[in-house]
Structure 1
Amino acid sequence: MADPLYRFDCVPMNTITLPFFPLKLVAFPGEKLNLHVFEPRYKQLIGDCLLKGSTFGICVYLDKLTMYGTEVSILEVSKTYEDGRMDIQALGIRPFRIVNFRNPMGEKLYAGGEVSILEGDEFTDTLLYAEFKELMVDMLQLLGLPENEDFKRIDTYNFSHKIGLSLEEEFKLLLMRNEAERLRFLVQHLRKALPILVKMEEAKRKIQMNGYFKNLDPLNF
């Protein structure tokens, strides 16, 4: 039986060709990524994308290449170094499944190939989303993140890197093409993680108090 982590039951809606940038991370749709590009093949890849105004694919690498990833676009080159290294900011667009992997891609230094875009169902369970958002706000506040406009736009992707998911769990989340399924997955994770985080914060406060002089009231016997 195939490993469910690498299986995806989906009828491809369309196919496009992308250059590939395999990384040990999951890029979520709508997420901004800061990447330091230093290998010759990936400097060439980014240079070609800038020249053509095209996108590329960040392929998820776990213990091996998973054959799934996310199409991303380059928002800006933040810095270019004398040796050709670059700091870039990219934006996740949509997930894909690799149909054809070619390494190298023609005469290029980097890999590439055809991918099928994974379409999804964005139907949201209103009650489940309300619970998810409440749990997420509690988690983000415990993590000490300042409340801002992003708190009003919490979805199943935009804070997922901050709530303690493993790389494998983030990968599973990326493969879920149903919003309600993603909500159930994250609610289950948050229900388990929040009590642990609360206990850790309580322990941290107790440890911090140990170094201070305590003003103790006398006891009357």
Structure 2
Amino acid sequence: MPDYLPLFPLNIVVYPGEKLNLHIFEPRYKQLVLDCIMSGKNFGIPTYIQNSVGQFGTEVEILGIEKKYDNGEMDIRSKGTRVFKVLKFDRTAPGRLYAAGEVEWVTYADDEDIVTKTRIRECMEKLYEALGLKSLSMDLKTDFKSFDIAHQLGLNLDQEYALLQMLHESDRQEAILQHLENILPIVLETEKLKERVKLNGHFKYLKPPEF
């Protein structure tokens, strides 16, 4: 039996376990948040992509209201929980201003490949070092999952959404590794180019070739 979930479409991808801070300002979503708080229920964020509401999204738990404004707007803290697939989308829930829909929960296979995971870590460390963000690699947990790092890879919305739809951790790992191996040479070359540009105009000590 599908569950009926209040829905808040946004042009972002939310992953399970992700912390998300939202500023709520539209009347329909102010109503959604208040309804969820009063009922103790969660809501869903389906990804709005290619000018339509995508089939996949993530259930979000409201952790608390950080700030309330005089006009009724709110800053809320939330966290992604489970991924769902929308079976039926209603632009407005019965008697409410906000959208809702029938959803089924997505089951993921935790079949990570340790070799691929090690290669991902190595590529990320090289990437962060090239970008001058070495502290980020220090924060990388040894037991990280693909969803933990997905927002730190420079993926576009389509690529992040594709990861959300992959049911196997091993498939997500392969996709991430391929992305890193594609962009790393470009980033490294760009950094070399920056250094060459910086040196332009400086006095150069160059040893002439022997003839």
TM-score by length of 2: 0.88
Query: Do the aligned residues in 2 keep the contact of 1:19 with 1:45 (CA within 8 Å)?
Result: yes
| Cross-structure match for 2:72 | 84
Unpaired stretches in structure 2, ≥5 consecutive residues: none
Equivalent residue in structure 2 for 1:59, among 42, 46, 53: 46
Question: % of aligned pairs identical?
Answer: 37
Deviation track 1:131-153 (CA, whole Å, cap 9, x = no partner) reads 12222232233333324444434
Deviation track 1:183-202 (CA, whole Å, cap 9, x = no partner) reads 11111111001111111222
| Cross-structure match for 1:172 | 162
Deviation track 1:80-104 (CA, whole Å, cap 9, x = no partner) reads 2111111222111121111121221
Letter of the 1:111 partner, please give it.
A
Partner secondary structure for residue 196 of structure 1: helix
Equivalent residue in structure 1 for 2:191, among 201, 210, 213: 201
Unpaired stretches in structure 1, ≥5 consecutive residues: 1-13
| Cross-structure match for 2:173 | 183
Cα distance change, pair 208–75 in 1 and its aligned pair in 2 (3 A): farther
Cα distance change, pair 48–142 in 1 and its aligned pair in 2 (3 A): farther
Query: Do the aligned residues in 2 keep the contact of 1:32 with 1:89 (CA within 8 Å)?
Result: yes
Superposed, 1:88-107 pairs within 5 Å as 88-107=76-95
| Cross-structure match for 1:111 | 99
Q: Distance in 2 between matches of 1:168 and 1:161?
A: 12
CA RMSD in angstroms comes to 2.1
Letter of the 2:6 partner, please give it.
P
Cα distance change, pair 210–217 in 1 and its aligned pair in 2 (3 A): closer
The Cα shift of 1:33 comes to: 1.4
Partner secondary structure for residue 152 of structure 1: coil
